[in-house]
């Protein structure tokens, strides 16, 4: 009984070490691969001459030599990272099966050491290719979720499967991945735990699986079916809980919009959770099968020798510390220090990235691969007085992706939010913006015209708007190019200065009816998106390098316009879309951004799909 309690305690500590190691791996992945992929994507856009990746120019973009080279490098880097994690999991489970005490040090350093050893022995390409195929199968839940959520992968899949040969190729490729992974299930085990080359290891794995194919199929299929049932129950529970929390915390007007946003996030988080859990459980199963059927082929176990060396050096260090001899004890402390430094570096880097994301507002930003954005016109101007902090707060509450605001300068050079050149319509003051100082304008009532509850609302400055929206909502800042702009020709400089001060370059884009002002924006920062506003145009108006998107009156937009602009890597923003029929038309045309006074209504139309309907019915039942 005492021995059983000892083994149980040891197993619990080992499982704790496994979760710490997996947490470290995923943190490293986030720390390295997310910024790497994001920066590689931006570099590719610059190298290939595109400012925006669209479905229409995607095929040409993928055929570019630079794109092919970068994609290959990223795949190799991903395969290498996955190989290190897979080898480390093999190290852990072999020790776990033999009931040895394992710490993160005993997983990390042997894993890194054995990965380096494998790659030094030759057959690197075969090992990395197998690792990549293994990753495609193991990470399939997460990849499927991303393929559903992101429109570009979904578009590529539709294009490929639309053709009979393409569909046949995809099916054959998936079957090949399953075949290679199933019969090569112990390949890395023989590479890691013995002194065999990859092809020798693969042949040994095939031999074992063929001999015990019934047991392998039964175990793998049974365990993963049980996991599937468990995941379905967890998924349903998370959806019901999310639905309940949203119903209890959100007002009725934004229930659907909140649910649409929550649904996408639940799908992504569940995909990541299922992938990690499946990876851990399946490696435990494979390790158990290997210890039962595959150990007879094992010549020598380098991992155990190295772990025993680490434990021996640790014991030796403790003895020497007890005797007052500290010099030789530094051998093992090096591993501990390196692990501690690695963990500290990863934690610091991830915290820095999160803090940086909050600081520059990129947490509020979604890449355009996710689909059509919704912009609240002058804030949610149907529910609050336009271009006020109240309208911006309502846009945030309505869960709009962007808020569009208009800015111009006062007589004394303060940048304020105001659409008209004259203050009469929204404040009752018969004067131009450029004729009054900000001290005079701030005393005006900018909300009474909209409703009694907004009486006394003031005209805000751009600085106030940036403070409110930072990390909450993206901004489309329209520079007003009227008489006030002519009087104060430094509007661009002041707006760009404020964006820099609040570090919101990832959260803001600039639009204007004056192309010269947009060119000036690009001179200050070529990473800021710029948009040309027009209600009608004819000819080659769109082939301008310093314009990233065209903001057009929706009635002017047709299929040809969208297709042409997308083929040139330009976005299409439609304004002002306030009817259901026009929203449906913009959705069918595939515009990138819909500017509306009713962001909640537009989100419901744009994002409602059959896959979500059951969820919304559940939300409706809760409201009864």
Is the distance from CB of 388 to CB of 459 less than 8 angstroms? yes
Q: Is 551 helix (H, G, I), strand (E, B) or coil?
A: strand
Q: Which long-range contacts (CB under 8 A, 24 or more apart) does 327-332 make?
A: none
Distance CA 539, CA 218 (A): 66
What is the tally of helices (H) and strands (E) in the chain? 25, 9
Please check whether residue 612 is in contact with residue 392, taking contact to mean a CB–CB distance below 8 angstroms.
Answer: no
The two three-digit tokens of residue 305, written as one number: 């020798």
User: What is the model's pTM?
Assistant: 0.66
- Residue at token pair 């005079």: 440
Phi, psi of 355 (to 5 degrees): -65, -40
Q: Sign of dihedral through CA atoms 148, 149, 151, 156? A: negative
Residue 494: both structure tokens together: 């002041």
Question: Are the CB atoms for 570 and 542 separated by under 8 Å?
Answer: yes
pLDDT tens profile 388-420: 999 999 999 888 999 999 999 999 999 999 999
Using the 8-state DSSP alphabet, how is residue 506 labeled? T
The dihedrals phi and psi of 366, each to the nearest 5 degrees, come to -115, 140
- Write the pLDDT tens digit of every residue in 363-380: 444 444 446 899 999 999
What b/e sequence results for 96-108 when a residue is b if at least 16 CB atoms lie within 10 Å of its CB, and e otherwise?
beeeeebbbbbbb
Has residue 329 got a pLDDT over 50?
no
pLDDT tens digit sequence for 138-166: 877 777 766 665 655 656 666 666 666 76
Tokens of 275: 């992938």
Cross-strand pairs, 575: 553
Q: Is the pLDDT of residue 1 over 50?
A: no
pLDDT, tens digit, for every residue of 222-255?
988 998 898 888 888 887 787 777 777 666 555 6
Is the distance from CB of 391 to CB of 417 less than 8 angstroms? no
- CA 417 distance to own-chain centroid: 32
Burial class for 146, CB neighbours closer than 10 Å (0-12, 13-18, 19+): middle
For residue 328, what pLDDT is reported? 45
Q: Can you say whether residue 409 is alpha, beta or left, with left for phi > 0 and alpha for psi between -120 and 50 degrees?
A: beta
Confidence of residue 536 (pLDDT cuts 50, 70, 90): low
Lowest-confidence range among 19-28, 315-324, 565-574?
315-324
Cβ count near 237 (within 10 Å): 10
Question: Which percentage of the chain shows pLDDT scores above 70?
Answer: 71
User: 561 falls in which pLDDT band (50, 70, 90)?
Assistant: confident
| CB-based burial label for 184 (10 Å; 0-12, 13-18, 19+) | buried
């Amino acid at each position: 009984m005492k021995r059983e309690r000892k083994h149980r305690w040891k197993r619990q500590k080992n499982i704790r070490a496994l979760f710490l190691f997996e947490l470290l791996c995923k943190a490293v992945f986030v720390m390295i691969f997310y910024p790497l992929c994001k920066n590689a994507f931006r570099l590719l856009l610059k190298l290939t001459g595109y400012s925006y990746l669209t479905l229409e120019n995607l095929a040409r973009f993928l055929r570019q030599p630079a794109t092919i080279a970068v994609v290959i490098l990223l795949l190799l880097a991903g395969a290498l990272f996955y190989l290190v994690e897979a080898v480390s999991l093999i190290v852990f489970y072999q020790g776990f099966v033999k009931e040895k005490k394992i710490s993160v040090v005993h997983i990390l350093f042997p894993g890194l050491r054995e990965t380096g050893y494998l790659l030094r022995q030759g057959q690197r390409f075969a090992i990395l290719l197998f690792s990549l195929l293994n990753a495609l199968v193991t990470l399939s839940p997460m990849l499927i979720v991303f393929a559903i959520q992101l429109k570009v992968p979904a578009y590529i899949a539709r294009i490929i499967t639309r053709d009979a040969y393409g569909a046949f190729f995809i099916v054959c490729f998936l079957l090949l991945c399953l075949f290679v992974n199933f019969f090569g299930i112990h390949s890395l085990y023989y590479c890691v735990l013995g002194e065999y080359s990859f092809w020798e290891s693969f042949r040994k794995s095939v031999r074992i699986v063929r001999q015990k194919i019934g047991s392998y199929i039964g175990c793998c299929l049974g365990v993963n079916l049980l996991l599937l049932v468990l995941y379905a129950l967890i998924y349903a529970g998370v959806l019901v809980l999310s639905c309940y929390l949203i119903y209890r915390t959100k007002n009725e007007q934004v229930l659907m919009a909140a649910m649409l946003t929550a649904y996408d996030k639940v799908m992504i988080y569940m995909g990541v959770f299922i992938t990690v859990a499946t990876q851990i459980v399946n490696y435990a199963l494979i390790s158990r099968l290997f210890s039962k059927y595959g150990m007879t082929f094992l010549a020598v176990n380098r991992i155990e020798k190295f772990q025993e060396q680490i434990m021996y050096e640790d014991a030796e260090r403790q003895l020497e510390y007890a005797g007052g001899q500290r010099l030789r004890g530094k051998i093992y402390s090096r591993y501990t220090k390196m692990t501690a430094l690695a963990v500290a570096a990863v934690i610091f880097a991830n915290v820095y990235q999160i803090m940086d994301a909050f600081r520059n507002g990129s947490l509020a930003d979604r890449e355009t691969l996710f689909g059509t954005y919704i912009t609240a016109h002058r804030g949610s101007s149907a529910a609050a007085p336009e271009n006020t902090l109240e309208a911006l707060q309502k846009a945030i509450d309505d869960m709009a992706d962007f808020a569009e605001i208009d800015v111009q300068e006062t007589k004394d050079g303060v940048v304020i939010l105001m659409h008209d050149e004259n203050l009469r319509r929204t404040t009752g003051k018969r004067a131009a913006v450029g004729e009054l100082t900000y001290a005079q304008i701030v005393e005006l009532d900018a909300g009474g015209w909209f409703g009694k509850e907004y009486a006394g609302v003031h005209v805000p400055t751009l600085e106030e708007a940036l403070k409110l929206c930072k990390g909450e909502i993206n901004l489309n800042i329209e520079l007003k190019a009227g008489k006030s702009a002519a009087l104060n020709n430094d509007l661009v400089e002041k707006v760009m200065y404020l964006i820099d001060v609040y570090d919101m370059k990832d959260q803001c884009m600039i639009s204007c009816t004056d192309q010269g002002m947009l060119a000036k924006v690009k001179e200050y920062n070529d990473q800021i998106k710029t948009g040309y506003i027009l209600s009608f145009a004819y000819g080659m108006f769109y082939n301008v390098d310093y314009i990233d998107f065209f903001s057009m009156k929706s009635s002017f937009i047709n299929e040809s316009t969208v297709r042409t602009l997308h083929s040139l890597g330009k976005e299409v923003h439609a304004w002002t879309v306030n009817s259901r029929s026009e929203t449906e038309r913009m959705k069918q045309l595939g515009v990138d951004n819909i500017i509306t006074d009713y962001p909640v209504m537009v989100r419901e139309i744009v994002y409602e799909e059959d896959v979500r309907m059951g969820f919304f019915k559940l939300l409706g039942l809760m409201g009864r």
